């Protein structure tokens, strides 16, 4: 088994993969039920499946767009503002502390600031292709 296949196999064993896939499946089923009971047309099963598939596909595409950094500069400004206020609060607390308390407090802060691991995009791409295939099949069935 080559390295690529092994990494994909590991992704399928990940709990995060199943959690993301299950959440999109729940969104799909919820939209399907809502559209099925709200439509009063003859072709309501076809329309319900198409609405659910296309809306879920749009949600997945939007989540991928935000995951790849859309509006990143705006979010960075919010993070910087939060960091500045946290730094101000930290300095305010440290003024009131003794030397030993400062030392313990700074040690705790260092332990909290561990580097974040980057999470793979595989579950999002898997769901994107899954719902894209479902949408294409439904589109073909509706047009034929």
> What would the pLDDT profile of 79-95 be if each residue is shown by its tens digit?
888 888 888 887 887 78
Residue whose C-alpha is closest to residue 79's, from 106, 124, 116, 120? 116
**How many domains, the chain?**
2
Provide the pLDDT for residue 58. 92
Q: Do 78 and 22 have their domain in common?
A: no
Q: Do 61 and 98 have their domain in common?
A: no
Q: What are the CB-based long-range contacts (under 8 Å, 24+) for 46-55?
A: 46/138, 46/141, 46/142, 49/138, 50/135, 50/138, 50/139, 50/142, 52/28, 53/28, 53/131, 53/134, 53/135, 53/138, 54/135, 55/27, 55/31
Provide the pLDDT for residue 22. 93
pLDDT < 50 stretches in the chain: none
Q: Do 40 and 20 have their domain in common?
A: yes
Provide the pLDDT for residue 23. 93
Provide the pLDDT for residue 132. 92
Q: Do 22 and 34 have their domain in common?
A: yes
Q: Do 27 and 59 have their domain in common?
A: yes
Provide the pLDDT for residue 5. 67
Q: Do 57 and 98 have their domain in common?
A: no
Q: Answer whether 39's CB lies under 8 Å from 47's CB.
A: yes
Residue whose C-alpha is closest to residue 17's, from 127, 118, 117, 143? 127
């Amino acid at each position: 088994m080559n390295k690529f296949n092994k990494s994909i196999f590991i992704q399928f064993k990940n709990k995060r993969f199943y959690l993301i896939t299950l959440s999109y499946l729940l969104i799909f089923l919820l939209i399907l039920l809502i559209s099925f009971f709200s439509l009063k047309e003859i072709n309501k099963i076809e329309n319900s499946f198409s609405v659910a598939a296309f809306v879920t596909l749009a949600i997945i595409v939007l989540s991928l767009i935000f995951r790849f950094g859309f509006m990143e500069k705006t979010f960075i400004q919010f993070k910087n503002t939060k960091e500045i206020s946290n730094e101000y609060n930290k300095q305010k607390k440290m003024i009131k502390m003794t030397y030993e308390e400062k030392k313990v407090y700074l040690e705790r802060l260092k332990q909290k600031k561990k580097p974040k691991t980057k999470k793979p995009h595989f579950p999002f791409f898997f769901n994107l292709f899954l719902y894209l295939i479902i949408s294409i099949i439904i589109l073909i069935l509706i047009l034929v």
